[in-house]
Amino acid sequence: MTMISVRPYSQALDQLRAVGLRPTRQRLALARLLFDGGDRHISAEQLHTEALSSNIRVSLATVYNTLHQFTESGLLREIVVDAGRSYFDTNTTDHHHFFYEKTGKLCDIPADLIAVTKVPNAPEGLNISRVDVIVRVEG
């Protein structure tokens, strides 16, 4: 009757294979921390701390490298709110964010609760790679 709430390794394994990253111990462990339990907005430092307290031996440099590899592979999306404060979002679908200036926290705004219309065309045949909307909230 007990639900196993921890995502099996095989799922993280498939995820890594799908994007062509070799499934090392560190990548598997980080993938499970990131993608278990729904959408997250996490910094490199936070993920590193979390890994260490889960007894996952991994260096901060590897956390950074891994986050960027995941981002390039489309498993994560990077969100910059302040100079020198960058978050990685496990939700890569189309959506935007509330940013709480005081606490520094991010919160999703589903794409259907906000609408950016009339986006002008990119100049001279360039493509729009993404539209980021950040609604800054005092508090």
Partner DNA sequence: ATAGCTGCAAATGCTTTGCAAGGCC
Partner DNA sequence: GGCCTTGCAAAGCATTTGCAGCTAT
Binding residues (CB under 7 A) for DNA: these are 21-27, 43-45, 57-62, 64-66, 68, 83-86
In the list DNA, a copy of itself, none, the entry touching 130 (Cβ below 5 to 8 angstroms by class) is a copy of itself
Cα separation of 88 and 49, whole Å?
15
Residues 76-105 that bind a copy of itself (CB under 8 A): 80-86, 98, 100-101
Q: Would you count residue 61 as binding a copy of itself (CB under 8 A)? A: no
Q: Would you count residue 123 as binding a copy of itself (CB under 8 A)? A: yes
- Are residues 111 and 97 in contact, defined by beta-carbon separation less than 8 angstroms? no
3-class secondary structure, 37: coil
Helical packing angle, 25-35 and 60-72, nearest 10°: 70
In the list a copy of itself, DNA, none, the entry touching 62 (Cβ below 5 to 8 angstroms by class) is DNA
Distances (CA, A) of 74 to 23, 39, 65, 70, 118: 16, 15, 14, 6, 27
Residue ranges that bind a copy of itself, judged by CB under 8 A? 80-86, 98, 100-101, 107, 109, 113-120, 122-123, 126-139
